[in-house]
Chain A
Amino acid sequence: MPLLETRALNKRFGGLHVTNNVDLALEVGQVHCLIGPNGAGKSTLFRLILGEHPPSSGAILFAGEDITALKPFQRIRRGMSVKFQVPGIFKALSVRQNLEIAMQHHYDPATLREEIGALLDFLNLTADAGRLAGNLSHGQKQWLEIGMAVSLKPRLLLLDEPTAGMSPEETHATGEMVKRLNAEGMTVLAVEHDMAFVRQVADQVTVLHLGKVFAQGTIDAIVADERVAAIYLGQATAQEAAHDTSHAQTGGVHA
C-alpha cells in the first residue's frame, strides 16, 4: 500500500485547471521529487495534499485512509509534516524556542532538551541556538524550518523547494540531510528546481506540466526523455506566457 496516494485529483480556479486529474503514488521509504516548469501546478498540488485548499474533485489517501476532508492540523497529526517554500519560522523567537514549540507535544519535558540538542546538531545550528530566528542567514532559516518539520518525526516529509536561494554548498548539505532522514525511514516528497539536488536524492521523479502528470520514472529516465527536455526548453516563450496568465487569474496563488 502506498503511503500517499492521490486519485484523479483536480483543482480549478475559475476557468483555470491548475491540477488536472493527477494520480500520484508514493511508496514507503521513497524520496520522490516533483519537478516541472513554472506554472506546472506543483505548489497547488502541495497545498491540496496539505489540505490548505479543498480539491475540486478527487481523493487523497494517506496510509490507506481517505484524508480528503481533513483539516491541515489533522493531517499533520496523522504523520505528515511540511517545510514551506518561503521559510515559515517564528522570526521573533529564538532558534531553540522554534524547535521547542515544534517538539513540545512529542517529548516529555525531561528528554525535550536532549532531543532539541540532537536536532540542533543535525541542522548545524548548535552555535546559533540562542539567536532570533529572524536573524539567521537564508540557508539557516531553511534548515531551521526543515528541522521543525522533521522534529515531528513524520512518516511523510513534504519539502517545497527546500534549497531555494541556497548556495551550491548549502544545497549539497541539504541533500545530505534528506538522505540521512530517508535512511532513518522517512518518506519524502519534494518540489525542487535544482536538478543537482534531484539527482542527489531522488528515487523517483514525477514531471508535472500544465497541471497534468507528464512523465514519471527514475532521474536518468527523465533526463533521457526528449519530451521533458522539450517542455523545459519551450518554456522560455510559451511557458512564460502561460505562467503570467495563471498568476493574474489565480490572484497570487503560486501555481
Chain B
Amino acid sequence: MDVGTLAFSALYQFGDAFAFLVLSACGLAVIFGMMGVINLAHGEFIMCGAYVTVSAAHAGVPLPLAILLGAVVSGLVGAVVEIVVIRHLYDRPLDTIVATWGLSLIGTQGTLILLGSTMAGVGTPFGSFSVGGYSYSVYRLVLFVMAVVVLGGLYALFNWTRFGVMARATIQVPHMAAALGVDTRLVYSLTFALGAGLAGLAGGLYAPTMTLVPTMGTTFIMEAFVTVVVGGADVFLGTAPAAALLAVVKATMTSWYGQLFGQIGLLVAVIIVIRVLPRGISGLLLRERA
C-alpha cells in the first residue's frame, strides 16, 4: 500500500468512526446539554427510528424519506414520553435517568414481544468504490456527510432560530426565561423531542448497514455515552471535538486489533480523560468563561 492509499484508508476509517460517534451521541447530547438529563432510553429511540425506516422502506417509501419518517416518529414518541414521564421529574434529574431506564426495558422487551427477535433489513445502498485495490462503501461517506450536516443544522437551529434563542435562554436562567414569557415547558418538550428525533435519525441512517434486533440500541449507546462524557454539556464545543478525538482512538484501535478493542480503547480513553478533565472538553474550552 502506498502512502496515498494508506492515508485515504486512515481518513476513511476516521470519518466512519466520527460519523458513528456524532450521530449516536448528538440526540443524547442535546437532551443532556439542555436539560441535564441522561436519557437511558436513547438506544430505544435509535431502534425505533431504525424499525420505522425499514418498515417504511419495505412498504415502498424511498429510503431518504423513510429515514426522515423514522426520525419524525421517534421525535413524536419522545414528545409523548416527555409529557407523560419526564416533565414530572424536572427537579429530580437523577431519578429521571432511572425512569428512562425503565422506559428502555419496556421499549426493548415490548418490541421483542410485538415484532419478534429480528426483522428483515434493507440492503446498503450505493455499492462501493475502490482506492488502491481496497474497496470502500459509498454509503459510509454519505453517513459522514450527514454527521457534518446534522452538526451544522444544530448550530443553525440553536443560534439563528427563535426556538434556539428561547432554548438557550431557558437553560441559562429558567425562571428569567419564564418571566420573559417563554413557555419553558414547551421548550423542554421540544428539546426532548428533538433529542429523540436525532436518535431516530441515527437509527434510520444506520438501519441499512445492520441487522435489526430489539437490542440494537445497545450497539450505539456505549459510544453515545462516552462521547457525551468526554464532551461535556455543550453540543458544539463538546460533542463535536470529543467525537473527533475519540474517532482517532477508535479508528486506530479498530484497525490494529478489531472492533472490540476500538470500544475498549474508547472506554479507557474516557476514564483517563475524566480523571484529567472532570467537566469534559467543553468544560475545558469554557473554563475561561466559567
Contact = CB atoms under 8 A, between A and B. Distances in A.
Interface in B254-290: 288-290
B146 to A, nearest CB: 34
Contacts, number: 8
Contacts of A14: 288-289
B224 to A, nearest CB: 27
A109 interface: no
Contacts of A13: 288, 290
A13 B289 CA distance: 7
Interface string A232-252: 000000000000000001110
A249 B288 CA distance: 9
Binding site secondary structure of chain B: loop
Determine the main DSSP class of A at the interface with B.
loop
Contacts of B290: 13, 250-251
Nearest to A12: B288
A250 B290 CA distance: 5
- Say which size band chain A's interface belongs to: under 10
A52 to B, nearest CB: 14
B277 to A, nearest CB: 15
Contacts of B288: 13-14
Nearest to A252: B290
Nearest to A15: B288
Contacts of A251: 289-290
| Chain B interface size, under 10 / 10 to 19 / 20 to 34 / 35 or more | under 10
A190 to B, nearest CB: 28
B275 to A, nearest CB: 16
Interface in A150-172: none
A251 B172 CA distance: 9
A247 B290 CA distance: 10
Interface in A1-48: 13-14
A84 B137 CA distance: 60
A174 B53 CA distance: 68
A250 B287 CA distance: 10
Contacts of A250: 290
A49 to B, nearest CB: 21
Contacts of B289: 14, 249, 251
Nearest to B286: A251
A250 B289 CA distance: 7
Interface in A207-255: 249-251
A91 to B, nearest CB: 15
Contacts of A249: 289
A14 B288 CA distance: 4
A103 B22 CA distance: 50
A148 to B, nearest CB: 25
Interface string B70-83: 00000000000000
A13 B288 CA distance: 6
B261 to A, nearest CB: 36
A251 B290 CA distance: 5
A249 B290 CA distance: 7
B131 to A, nearest CB: 46
A14 B290 CA distance: 8
A44 to B, nearest CB: 13
A130 to B, nearest CB: 27
A57 to B, nearest CB: 16
8 contacts: A13-B288, A13-B290, A14-B288, A14-B289, A249-B289, A250-B290, A251-B289, A251-B290
4 nearest CB pairs, A to B: A251-B290, A14-B288, A14-B289, A251-B289
Given A249-B289, A251-B289, A251-B290, 4 more contacts: A13-B288, A13-B290, A14-B289, A250-B290
